[in-house]
Amino acid sequence: MNDKLVIGVTGGIGSGKSALTREFEKLNVIVVDADVVAREVVAVNSPVLTQVAQQFGADILLSTGELNRAKLREIVFSDEHKKQTLNAIMHPAIRNEMINQLHNAQSPYVILSAALIFENQLDKLTDKVVVVDVPETLQLERASSRDSVEQQQIQAIMASQWTRQRRNEQADYIVPNDGAIALLAEQAKNLNTKFLQLAADKLINVAN
């Protein structure tokens, strides 16, 4: 993405992307988060939410006009075709808004955090990709306790994402997250030093 260094952060559901990017935010790095953008594009009365309601029926909306996320999650992760329908509506809008936010970010480099970086070829927007890596059992445990969602549903979501091995093979950097959260802070600090250098190098290369 032109002269600005973009670092992707990815990992499966519950791997700890948000936990890691919070540490980068503490170092004043701007983070564009796909899950946050995915909520922004379906704001009440937005065109994307209208399309979702047209496809999935008006009862996918709560009485407040907001998206009933739990209901849509149950529908799309038990029916591949419906998931593809939702992805086709939402992913282009998410991508456009993420590009917009990356352009506007004012920090020496910017982070793009998304579970589906490789699946959706969002790595075309990034210079390097960090994979947050945990064993699948831990992913399942952490995601289901965070969201109070049955493990079976988390397993269905995991099955719709790349495997741990495939993701790790594509990584430029791997951050293990099977230890304490404090260890993430240390890893973020070390990577930040590296990325600031890469950002400076990129600026010089673009100028020449």
Ligand X SMILES: CC(C)(COP(=O)(O)OP(=O)(O)OC[C@H]1O[C@@H](n2cnc3c(N)ncnc32)[C@H](O)[C@@H]1O)[C@@H](O)C(=O)NCCC(=O)NCCS
Backbone angles phi, psi at 141, to 5 degrees: -60, -50
Residue 80 interacts with ligand ATP (CB under 6 A): yes or no: no
State the number of CA atoms in the 13 A half-sphere of 57 facing the CB: 6
182 is in an annotated binding site: no
Question: Cβ closer to ligand ATP: 4 or 187?
Answer: 187
Residue 86 touches ligand X, criterion: CB under 6 A: yes
Q: Which of 146, 143, 128, 133 is nearest to 177 (CA)?
A: 133
Is 35 a binding residue for ligand ATP by CB under 6 A? The answer is yes
Cα distance between residue 202 and residue 74, in whole Å: 44
For residue 57, say whether it is annotated as part of any ligand binding site: no
Position 146 contacts ligand ATP (CB under 6 A): yes
Cα dihedral 147, 150, 154, 159 in deg (nearest 10):
-170
Using an 8 Å Cβ cutoff, are 153 and 196 in contact? no
Binding mask 155-184 for ligand ATP (x = CB under 6 A): ----------------------x--xx---
Contact 161, 34 (CB under 8 A): no
Residue selected from 19, 53, 116, 174 as contacting ligand ATP according to rule CB under 6 A: 19
CA–CA separation, 153 and 143 (whole Å): 10
d(CA 151, CA 72): 17
CA dihedral over 42, 44, 48, 54, signed as positive or negative: positive
156 near ligand X (CB under 6 A): no
Q: Which stretch binds ligand ATP (CB under 6 A): 36-44, 51-59, 94-102, 140-148?
A: 140-148
Q: How many CB atoms lie within 10 A of CB 27?
A: 15
Q: Of residues 114, 131, 132, 175, which one binds ligand X by CB under 6 A?
A: 114
Task: Work out how close the CB of 54 gets to ligand ATP at its nearest, in angstroms, rounded to a whole number.
Answer: 27
Using the rule CB under 6 A, which residue among 6, 7, 11, 77 binds ligand ATP? Answer: 11
Quote the tokens at residue 88: 């086709």
Instruction: List interacting residues with ligand X (CB under 6 A).
Output: 13, 34-35, 38, 69, 72-73, 76, 83, 86-87, 90, 94, 114-116, 157, 160-161
Residues interacting with ligand ATP, by CB under 6 A?
11, 13-19, 35, 115, 142-143, 146, 177, 180-181
